[in-house]
Amino acid sequence: MRREDFPILNEKVHGRALVYLDNAATTQKPQVVIDAIAEAYGKWNANVHRGVHHLSQVATQKHEEARKKVAGLLHTQSEEEIIFTKGTTDSINMLARSFGDAMVKAGDEIIVSQLEHHSNIVPWQMLCERKGAVLKVIPLREDLSLDIEAFEGLLSEKTRLVSVAQVSNVLGIVNPVEEIIRLAHARGVAVCVDGAQSVPHLAVDVQEMDCDFLVMSAHKMYGPTGLGVLYGKKEWLDKLPPAEGGGEMIEHVSFEKTTYNVLPYKFEAGTPNYVGSYAFGKAIDYVQSVGLEAIAKYEHELAVYLEEQLALLPNVRIYAAGREKAGAVSFNVYREDGVLIHPFDVGVLLDRQGVAVRTGHHCAEPLIDHLQVPGTVRASVAMYNTKEDIDTFIAALRKAIMMLQ
Ligand code: PLP
């Protein structure tokens, strides 16, 4: 699928053709995105929103068109609900600051799950420390799915917000966020969905899902680094205070009283990443020209093939084997005497053969602790990967396992 559009895939690593299976960490960029960045700086770079001159108006128009594209991608009610941030981590920190300041007091509770990325744990922990609130954790069942009955038990009149990943960055499994949202809303509790690993792989509709907030990163969806999105329902964003102060987010400033700008600018202090938003708009056009449904279907087939081929190898343990996955598969390799081969060793030997995978705790230490391993090896696919990539990866892994016996 359109492999030729991604120039980096022609690179050689250690003299071997690159097989890039680290897409959950970041995706490679198609030529249209690379060209967009050069075009922005080469043809119309100027600061947005404040300029009457031509270039500033062009830049503003392109930045705002990109916002519309993101709104279309996520199916929001309006583009005012799209706040540009630096990435998923920044979005969650902003939300924890803004929502936390306005809505959370001592004794209140925030719920996350055992399988969250650190960026969906630590900002909430920091909020709880600031406010004297309590962080509650949805436990995992034996099959590593979220324990929904336990979640229901955690919801109380003290719960202020639930924040969960739609797709686990370690296990690749899809969590039942719709059910979580329904149960939380029945108690009047708001829900934030970490869409970092889902928006690039699934067709996401925030209105259908009915989440209150959703966060994502452009770089995980063929877009540039340094750009992310915080989606919030308008009624929430109207009500919440800005998380950061500075230029752009104000209406009037005086030493006596400052008033804030309208949505979404109230949440966008300082010069925004308009080159990034423009390039991300191009990535969205690119993805939509292929079709998110077609991408999801293709990647699902690849992930199933990847897992099937892995399962044929001796002494490989796949986590959440057989569960519905979007993009990523995590595993560990054991020696014949049953001793775990450290994931780093596997990763290094794969790298020597041109295969890029990620090893370690994947910024999800509480989940890795739960699995009682030092880390995992994670292979994650994107639309440009092929069955041949997976065959090369499996052959390289077979060799690595032999060398590590
Ligand atoms: N949440 C999940 C599920 C992720 O996979 C990641 C990145 O791997 C993040 C949050 C953080 O994203 P970023 O580093 O782009 O802010």
Which DSSP string do the residues of 358-372 spell out, in sequence order? EEE-TT-HHHHHHHT
- Work out the number of other CB atoms within 10 angstroms of the CB of residue 154: 15
* Residue 290: per-residue pLDDT: 94
Given the DSSP bridges, would you call strands 134-138 and 109-113 parallel, antiparallel or unpaired? parallel
Could you give the count of Cα atoms lying within 13 Å of 325 in the half-sphere of its Cβ?
A: 31
Q: How far apart are CA 276 and CA 283, in angstroms?
A: 10
| Spans in the chain with pLDDT lower than 50 | none
* 398 alpha carbon – ligand 1 mean position (Å): 30
* 380 alpha carbon – ligand 1 mean position (Å): 14
* 120 alpha carbon – ligand 1 mean position (Å): 8
Per-residue pLDDT of 114-164, as tens digits, reads: 999 999 999 999 999 999 999 999 999 999 999 999 999 999 999 999 999
Pocket test for ligand 1, best of 198, 217, 378 (most atoms within 8 A of CB): 217
Cβ < 6 A, ligand 1 pocket: 87-89, 117, 119-120, 165, 169, 194, 196-197, 217
Atom number in ligand 1 closest to CA 119: 10
Atom number in ligand 1 closest to CA 91: 16
The residue whose C-alpha atom lies closest to atom 6 belonging to ligand 1 is: 196
Q: How far apart are CA 304 and CA 365, in angstroms?
A: 26
Atom number in ligand 1 closest to CA 116: 3
Atom number in ligand 1 closest to CA 86: 16
* 363 alpha carbon – ligand 1 mean position (Å): 8
H or E stretch at 146: none
* 228 alpha carbon – ligand 1 mean position (Å): 10
* Residue 51: per-residue pLDDT: 80
- Three-state secondary structure call for residue 59: helix
The residue whose C-alpha atom lies closest to atom 12 belonging to ligand 1 is: 88
- Work out the number of other CB atoms within 10 angstroms of the CB of residue 119: 23
Q: What is the dihedral of CA 362, 366, 371, 376, to 10 degrees?
A: 10
Domains and CATH numbers, the chain: 3-23+291-404 (3.90.1150.10), 32-289 (3.40.640.10)
The residue whose C-alpha atom lies closest to atom 5 belonging to ligand 1 is: 169
In sign, the C-alpha dihedral spanning 4, 8, 13, 18 is negative
Pocket test for ligand 1, best of 169, 204, 378 (most atoms within 8 A of CB): 169
* 89 alpha carbon – ligand 1 mean position (Å): 6
Atom number in ligand 1 closest to CA 167: 3
Question: Which amino acids are annotated catalytic?
Answer: 363
* 289 alpha carbon – ligand 1 mean position (Å): 25
Atom number in ligand 1 closest to CA 363: 8
* Residue 1: per-residue pLDDT: 64
Q: How far apart are CA 136 and CA 369, in angstroms?
A: 17
* Residue 172: per-residue pLDDT: 96
As given in the structure block, the two tokens for residue 78 are: 């309006």
Pocket test for ligand 1, best of 22, 85, 88 (most atoms within 8 A of CB): 88
Cβ contacts of 252 within 8 Å, gap of 6 or more: 258, 259
Q: Which of 293, 380, 287, 217 has its CA nearest to residue 33?
A: 287
Amino acid at 239: K
Per-residue pLDDT of 284-313, as tens digits, reads: 999 999 999 999 999 999 999 999 999 999
Pocket test for ligand 1, best of 95, 118, 119, 361 (most atoms within 8 A of CB): 119
- CA separation (Å) from 204 to 89, 100, 196, 240, 262? 19, 26, 11, 24, 26
- CA separation (Å) from 94 to 51, 65, 119, 242? 27, 23, 12, 8
Q: What letter would DSSP give residue 185?
A: H
SS3 letters across 90-115: HHHHHHHHHHHHHHCCCCCEEEEECC
